[in-house]
Every structure is written in C-alpha cells, then in structure tokens.
A and B are shown apart, each in its own frame.
Chain A
Amino acid sequence: MPQKWNSLDTDVLVIGGGVAGCMAAIPALEAGLSVVVCEKGKVLDHCGSVGCGVDHYLTIMESGPEWDTPEFLIKHLPKLTDGIVDMAVASRVIHEMPKVVRKIESFGVNFKDPRFNDYYRLRSFGLPGTYHINFDGTEFKKHIGQRVRKLKGSVLTRTMAVQILVEDGRVYGAIVFNFRTGEWTVVRAKAVVLAAGEVNRISLNASGMAFDSWHCPYNTGDSQAMAYNAGALLTNMEFVETTITPKGFSAQGLNALVSEGAHFINKSGERFMFKYDEKGENARRAVIADAVINEYLLDNGPIYADCRHLPEDILDHMEATLQIDRYTMPAFYEQKALNFREEPIEVSISELSIRRSGVYFRGSGLAVDTDGQTSISGLFAAGDCASVSGGIAGAAVLGHVAGEGVASFVPKTNGSLPQIDMETADAIREKAMKHMEVEKERGLSWKAYEAEIRQTVNDYIGVRRNEAGLRHALQTLHALAKRETDLKADDLHGLMRIHESSSIRLNAELMATAALARDESRTGSSHYRMDHPDTDETNWKKFVIVQKGSEGAETTTLSASEPLAAAFARKN
C-alpha cells in the first residue's frame, strides 16, 4: 500500500457525480471556480441513479395554463407532503424549474416526443397537473456529464470519500481514496457539495438479493453519514420509501405504468386503488405502496399491475419505451416469458430506502436552506440526500441551486484554508486500512454484516413499527456498530463496500431514532406506528431533526411552518 498522500486544492469539491452533483458543478464552473467531482463510478456520462436512462422528468414549463405555474404547484405542497415540507426551499426549487429544464435542453437533451414533436406530459403520483414529461432520456445523463467535462471540471473516478473535514463549524475538504489504485488524497476545498444520493441496501426485497434494488444500490447514504459525523442536521429520516415493482425485480418503471393507465388488481381481480384514494392509480407513490401493503396484509395478494385494457397504441408505446428507465426490463419479461400486453404482472413492494417516502418535495436527509447550504458553513447538499427531493428534476434543480449557492459563497471566503492536520489524516487512513489486516478468525464479512442490518430494518423499522420493535432494532444496530472494526476487507473494492456498510448501518440507526421520536403515524406506511396509529395534526406538524450528540443520535423538533434553516446555528 502506498503510504504517501496525494493532495489537491480546489474551490469546490462535489461528492457524487450523479445528476445533482453534475448540476451543482456546472454553475460553479460557469462562475470560473475550480471544481473536483469525486465519484465511485468511472464515467460521469453514465453514473448515478439514471446513468442508464430515465423516462420522465417533473417540471413546471409555464406553458400557459394555471396548473403549469410555480404558484399553483406551491399551493398544493402541504397536501402533497402531508404538511411536512420546507416551504421556503421547495418553493425556490419549483420557481427554478422552468429555467433549469431549458438549461438542460441547451446541453442537448431532447425532451420532446418524436411522435408529436412536442412534449408528452402525463399525470402521476398525486400531482395536480400533467407535470411529468414522458421522454426518451436514454442519453439524459450523458449530456449532463459531457457538460461538466466541457467546462473542464476535474473528476476523481472510482473514488470514495471517507470523511469530510470540518473545523470551527466550516467545511474545508475531505479525505478520499481510489479503490482501484489504493491512492489516498486529501482534498482541500472552499466549499463541498454532498450529492451521493439516498440510502439503499437497507432492507430486504422479494428476490433476497441485496443489489437488486429499485434505485442505485451503490447509493448507500454516504453523504448523510459523513455529514452527520461532522455535526450536520438531518431531517425526515423516520420516513421510509418503497415502490411497486414486478415481483422479483426491483426496478424503475412505476411512473410509466400508472401515467399510461395501468390498473392494480388483487387476487380476486378487484381494482382496489379507489378504496384508498380518489385519484386511484394516480395517487401519490406512498399511497399506492400503502394500498398494496394493505391488500397483502388482508390476504388479497398476489397483487398485479394490469395493462390488458389499454389501447393498442398505448401498449405499443409502453413496449417501445420499456427499456428506457431500466435497460434490462424487456430481457426480464422475456426470460420470465411474460407478455404484459396479455397477462397481468405480479407485483411486490420493493426494498425500502430512505429518500423521500413516496412523496415529492419532502426529502429525507440533510437539512438545507434556500441556497442548498446545510447547517455547516460551506457544506451544501442536493439530490436524494437533501431535505427537498423531487426525482431527477428535484436533483437537477436543487443541484443547480446549490451550485449557484457555492458560486456566491466561495468569493466571500477570504481565500485561506486551514492547513490539513496530517496526523488526523493519517489516523483516518490507518483506521480504514485496518480492515485489510483483520485476522481471519475475527473477521466479519460486510455481506453478512449488512444482511443483519437489512433483516433488522425489515422486521422492526420498516413499514410497521412500534416502540418495542424500534428499541429492539436500536439495540441490534448499536451492537453492530461495536463490531464494525471486525469487518474484514479482502481487497480495496471490499474496503469501499465496508465504508458503504458503515453508512447503511448509521442511517438505519438514524431512521429508528427519528421513528421513535415521532409518536404518531403519517403518510401511510412511510411512518406507521402501530402503537400510535393516528395522525396527530395538533402536536406533530413538525420536522424531526436528528443530530450527533455526546451520547449518540439526538432528536429535536421544529414546527413545519418554519424553514429548516431556522434550526441552523451557523454564523454565515
């Protein structure tokens, strides 16, 4: 192992090269700042949650009708989020949507449907208008990644950030390592943007395969974990998210199904969604998931997605675009010998994630202000690790907001950065590298370790919770924390995975802690406390905020009528 350090000085370090990270890098680069993007994948054009494509994009376009204005959507935010939303940040994101979609178009993304040479906009997920552009986004990420490269952003590929560096409440860089070469780098930066996505691999799914996940299984809550350890505030961590997937394959695609008109039916052939929501299959994702969960609990399973009633031209379009959200979906149906035009598709809930609980604009993760800045000075966050999340559009827009925030923040810093304390850096690296030296007898594999986390989350922190279960889960997760030093890495790739496992465990602990604090139920199975089954509008129109305390994770609350930034103590 090389013992020397690489060092890099930059204006901005972006951790995570997905849509949010790239869109944050772009305004910073345009402002003339130097930007380094740290990414676990190899190539910006195809990394992150939509590196292999996306088929829908939620946006306001100001095309004329009242519903297509920021004001109209903002008016519906409380209903869309069951009252738990940072109105200030979500409103900023919604106001910026038209500008950002046009900017992405200028990168070469074609949002128009070639059938009509116009935008094909559909309604889904409880939104009060046809806000989703349904489009062929196979090359969406490629155009955004190319833009970053064109503007001369630097990229550290196959590189994982291990720790962000904070002194006197101000971030000044991070320690990262390349898991192909074993090189360790200290990056000094005037601002850091965290954009490494949501928390996946945190619970079980139908196939039992940890990496068979709806969203990118390499997104493991690293931003949330690093920022929490540095003292940042997180919110909405109690809410879990799940989606509906073909049973056995946790993949994207629900938006296309429901927006094109598929029905959900139970084993008796009953179309049950209207029992749960007046919008039927157009209800919010959280409501659809909750309905499917309830139908299974009522022994009405198996549940199916049914497309058989749809007209031929819609079925043709669905078939032709099936691979856009997940390239391998046609192969899955083919290998399963399932023809969705003629047979209903058996569905399951997916594994859980900590992202935005099936609700647009209520993100679970790092609390940010209207510039995307967290409670730590100079530390920004965007995408599915931040407190306002809205799919790919949310990532793009909040990413862009954070990039503009960085561009305004950096010139105000006086230019001097603290010297890196190399003793601290050595200690961080030494602690990590010890995983390579764990004796075989004592060694614990990260796969087994994670399996224990997933079982615990599945059983006690998932879609049905109570105080006893949550306390039991916390005990198990605390015990696992103590065994973290026993995790044995066989190689550098394994060392990277061990750091992911550590992030997953910590995020599970934060979820259980926040879920214990919120002693009510809200948004169906996103936070269902069996011991407090009712929604308490009198006492719980509040955010639960989680922060590292002297004894571990501590929670406080903040009225949801306040912006989360009201809880920030930072000076600038």
Chain B
Amino acid sequence: MSSDMKAEEQTVHNPIQIDPETCVKCNLCDWICPGDLIYKKEDNRETLPVIAYPDECWYCGLCQSICPVDAITVIFPDQMINCQTDVKTLLGKVID
C-alpha cells in the first residue's frame, strides 16, 4: 500500500460556478446532474444549489445547458486547460 493512500483533499477546483444573483433556485441543475454532485433543497426558493462533490464532475455541461437563466458557467481547471503531462507516462512501465 503506497504511503499517499491517506493523503488527499488539497484545494478542490469547483467546475460549476453559479451566479447567486441570477440563479432562480429552481432545482433543475440538481435534477439533471448525472453524477449526483449538485444538491439543492427541493421546494425552497431561498437556498442556492450546493456543489457537494466538485472533483467528481464529468464536465458534461448538462447543468449549464438546462439552467433556465444562464446562471451556470463551467470552468475548466488549469491541469485541463494547460495540461503539461508527458503522454509517455500514460503508456505503462515495463518490468522484467
């Protein structure tokens, strides 16, 4: 078991940015999210949706596409936009 198995939870990027001024607190983003990430109290027009599990986002954009007032913007993190990974590291290690 590697030692980093318990280390985690650095700052988590929030991909689903909701404009609190524009949001009409309608519940559709919670309803449509395929990953169960967005939690919004039902029948409550006072509370904003909460992005409960931001690091589990697929970046599918369904929440943004269904928002009736365009309050949602999907923002990509730096490791996606400016990805510096050497692709060769994805191609396996060879051991004898």
Contact = CB atoms under 8 A, between A and B. Distances in A.
B7 to A, nearest CB: 8
B68 interface: no
B58 A218 contact: yes
Contacts of B2: 452, 455
B52 interface: yes
B35 interface: yes
Contact of A327 (B55, B64, B76): B64
Contact of B90 (A42, A303, A348): A348
Contacts of B93: 459-460, 469
Contact of A462 (B87, B88, B91): B91
B83 A247 contact: yes
B34 A206 contact: no
Contacts of A458: 90, 92
Interface string A293-306: 10011000111000
B5 A211 contact: no
B1 to A, nearest CB: 7
Interface in A193-223: 203-213, 216-218
A328 B15 CA distance: 11
A479 B88 CA distance: 27
Contact of B80 (A210, A301, A332, A455): A332
A280 interface: no
A203 B66 CA distance: 31
A145 to B, nearest CB: 12
Contacts of B18: none
A496 B36 contact: yes
A466 interface: yes
Interface residues of A, number: 71
A43 B35 CA distance: 11
Interface string B52-86: 11011111111011100000011111011111010
Contacts of A206: 83, 85, 87, 90
Nearest to A47: B34
A326 to B, nearest CB: 7
A43 B4 contact: no
A158 B16 CA distance: 20
A301 B88 contact: yes
Contacts of A497: 56
A179 B36 contact: yes
Given A204-B90, A464-B94, A327 B62 contact: yes
Contacts of A328: 59-61, 64, 74, 76
A345 to B, nearest CB: 12
Nearest to A351: B90
Contacts of B48: none
Interface string B2-31: 101111100000000000000000000011
B96 to A, nearest CB: 6
A48 B34 CA distance: 8
Contact of B92 (A41, A46, A462): A462
Interface string A22-64: 0000000000000000001111001110011000000000000
A447 interface: yes
A331 interface: yes
A303 B86 CA distance: 12
Contacts of B8: 445, 447-448
B34 A296 contact: no
B55 A211 contact: yes
A351 B58 CA distance: 13
Given A458-B90, A472-B95, A43 B60 contact: no
A296 B88 contact: yes
Interface string A177-201: 0011000000000000000000000
A205 B80 contact: no
Contacts of A445: 5-6, 8
A334 to B, nearest CB: 10
A3 B32 CA distance: 29
Contacts of A212: 58-59, 80
Contact of A42 (B32, B55, B58, B73): B32
Contacts of A496: 36
A267 B55 CA distance: 33
5 contacts: A180-B36, A207-B83, A209-B77, A218-B35, A302-B87
Interface of B: 1-2, 4-8, 30-36, 52-53, 55-62, 64-66, 73-77, 79-83, 85, 87-96
Q: Which 8 A-B pairs have the closest CB atoms?
A: A248-B83, A327-B61, A328-B61, A464-B92, A448-B5, A248-B80, A459-B93, A206-B85
